[in-house]
Amino acid sequence: MSNLIETKYAIELKGVSKIFGSVVANDNINLNIKYGEILALLGENGSGKTTLMNMLSGIYYPDAGTISIAGDEVSISSPTDAINYGIGMIHQHFKLVEVLNAMDNIVLGTKEKYLKPKILKDKILNISSKFGLEIEPEKKIYNMSVSEKQTVEILKVLYRGAQILILDEPTAVLTPQETEKLFAILRKMKEQGSAIIIITHKLHEVLSVSDRVAILRKGKLIDTVKTEDSNEKQLTELMVGRPVSLKINRPEVESKKTILNVVDLSVMNEDGSLGLKNINFKLKRGEILGVAGIAGSGQKELCESIAGLIKIKSGAVLCNKENIIGKTPDEIINLGISMSFVPEDRLGMGLVGSMGMVENMMLKSYRKSKGFFIDKKPSRKLAEYLKNKLQIVTPNVDMPVRMMSGGNVQKVLLGREIDSNPNVLITAYPVRGLDINSSYVIYDLLNEQKLKGVAVLFIGEDLDVLLELSDRIMVLCNGEMKGIVDTKETTKEEIGLMMAGKSFKGVEGDE
């Protein structure tokens, strides 16, 4: 058996295609991966990475081509089949049942007999120690952090004895330290003979963890390169299809006047704990203040308290020395404070999925028009303008935004907020899940606003981007501000440690 594993490919795809309606998501893909190898799958949004992997995990069925596992041609028509062939997939959005504990989630759907909790617990702890994972088997999923949930997902796959592991953007929600830990686990699994496919946007991660890189563009496999023979520049060019500058501009703006002053802001969560604890910072015109932190460290509460969407416990938010606490969201918008929050499901806040671009534009402007009937013309004009300026890909401006790809939806949201000529622009995760091209369009938009003298609060998840784009970075951990650092004088490691809860001397507070 071990001999077999050495000589045969773990997975071999031959001429695999998948078509959705008129869209060719995957076009004649030929790809293979060996046991004991980590393959990175790189590509922009809509290049067909997830579709391809979903065919391996049984969510989609290929329209053409063959899939071979360990040398045998197979037909994977359901997730059950995939599991039986030893393929485990860790999805971008975790597939866990919140009200069950880790153990129940791990054994869920397995064919074996009902095990007594005690025996099951030992079995799970055994596997986790083998791969260096840390887990509390009896903890409920809804009490877990993102990184713990991911551990459960990995254990789910390992418990089923999967030899082939597929991870869809596993690092998007992790701190740099947690990412390193994950990579250590992946390397350990590789040593034990697993074949691992990792989908990611982050080039430096590709370079650090993978053995080979397969690049997809517009549904086609462009090339497969050895990681050691490659570099960021080459990978980007293969991915985008033309040379791209990877540097994010950080234009300097003179005469910085404070416009937003947040003093001792505290917010109470629904469960009675503090969502934000005594936050103090000043936001100036012509600067981008980055906010770093693990997901759920108080970013949402910060956005919503400034936008007037949630009640605050104590403190003040001064906009041009006027306290905006207690004002309605409408009054706050009229003061020129504009928020665009891109939640995990991208559509959750700000846009109505079943409405087209025109109607979504109108959501913010209809109150200004007079008369009983609504006037769609200005909104239509604005929608057409944004479509051209931001290169939004949609057949027409009336198509429901839900049908558009994530990147385009985000451009619609941000475009509408910027069009209202705000003084303060709060933007959370504007490039969430976006590919390099679309991300740079967004960065350019933000820089343009900064040059116009807008104060930008940029809540991000990718530390590299935060470090390049913002002038200063505020770090949140568990609702507490761990300090504000100047991006020119800090390192990624320092911010990573602050995100994990460490305060640094000399950087706390705001001058």
Residue 361, both tokens: 């534009």
For another protein, the binding residue among 34, 49, 91, 149 (CB under 8 A) is 91
Within positions 115 to 174, which residues make up the interface with another protein, using CB under 8 A?
Answer: 140, 142, 156
Contacts made by residues 265-271, CB under 8 angstroms, sequence distance 24+: 265/302, 265/305, 265/312, 265/314, 265/315, 265/316, 265/317, 266/312, 266/313, 266/314, 266/315, 267/298, 267/301, 267/305, 267/310, 267/311, 267/312, 267/313, 267/479, 268/311, 268/313, 269/301
If one asks whether residue 457 binds another protein (CB under 8 A), the answer comes out as no
Select from 95-103, 204-212, 242-250, 477-485 the region that touches another protein (CB under 8 A): 95-103
If one asks whether residue 393 binds another protein (CB under 8 A), the answer comes out as no
Q: Where are the beta strands (DSSP E) in 44-133?
A: 64-69, 72-74, 87-90
The amino acid that residue 226 corresponds to is: K
Q: How far apart are CA 465 and CA 443, in angstroms?
A: 9
Q: How far apart are CA 460 and CA 340, in angstroms?
A: 12
If one asks whether residue 273 binds another protein (CB under 8 A), the answer comes out as no
Exposed/middle/buried for residue 163 (C-beta within 10 Å: 0-12, 13-18, 19+): buried
Positive or negative torsion for Cα 122, 123, 128, 129: positive
- Give the shortest CB-302-to-another protein separation in angstroms: 23
- Give the shortest CB-250-to-another protein separation in angstroms: 36
Letters for 307-336 (x = contact with another protein by CB under 8 A, - = none) are ------------------------------
- Give the shortest CB-145-to-another protein separation in angstroms: 16
For another protein, the binding residue among 270, 322, 330, 511 (CB under 8 A) is 270
Q: How far apart are CA 421 and CA 338, in angstroms?
A: 9
CB 30 within 8 A of CB 14: yes
| Alpha-carbon dihedral angle through residues 203, 209, 214, 216, given to the nearest 10 degrees | -40
For another protein, the binding residue among 83, 397, 455, 459 (CB under 8 A) is 83
Select from 107-115, 166-174, 236-244, 442-450 the region that touches another protein (CB under 8 A): 107-115
Cβ proximity to another protein, 67 vs 382, nearer residue: 67
Select from 53-61, 196-204, 345-353, 387-395 the region that touches another protein (CB under 8 A): 53-61
Within positions 11 to 50, which residues make up the interface with another protein, using CB under 8 A?
Answer: none
Q: How far apart are CA 477 and CA 493, in angstroms?
A: 15
Select from 55-63, 163-171, 413-421, 462-470 the region that touches another protein (CB under 8 A): 55-63
If one asks whether residue 206 binds another protein (CB under 8 A), the answer comes out as no
Q: How far apart are CA 360 and CA 404, in angstroms?
A: 13
- Give the shortest CB-170-to-another protein separation in angstroms: 15
If one asks whether residue 76 binds another protein (CB under 8 A), the answer comes out as no
- Give the shortest CB-433-to-another protein separation in angstroms: 13
- Give the shortest CB-391-to-another protein separation in angstroms: 22
- Give the residue carrying structure tokens 């254990």: 155
Give the pairing of strands 64-69 and 9-20: antiparallel
Cβ proximity to another protein, 84 vs 280, nearer residue: 84
If one asks whether residue 361 binds another protein (CB under 8 A), the answer comes out as no
- Give the shortest CB-21-to-another protein separation in angstroms: 12
Sites of contact with another protein (CB under 8 A)? 57, 59-60, 78-80, 82-84, 89, 91, 94-100, 104-105, 107-110, 113-114, 140, 142, 156, 270-271
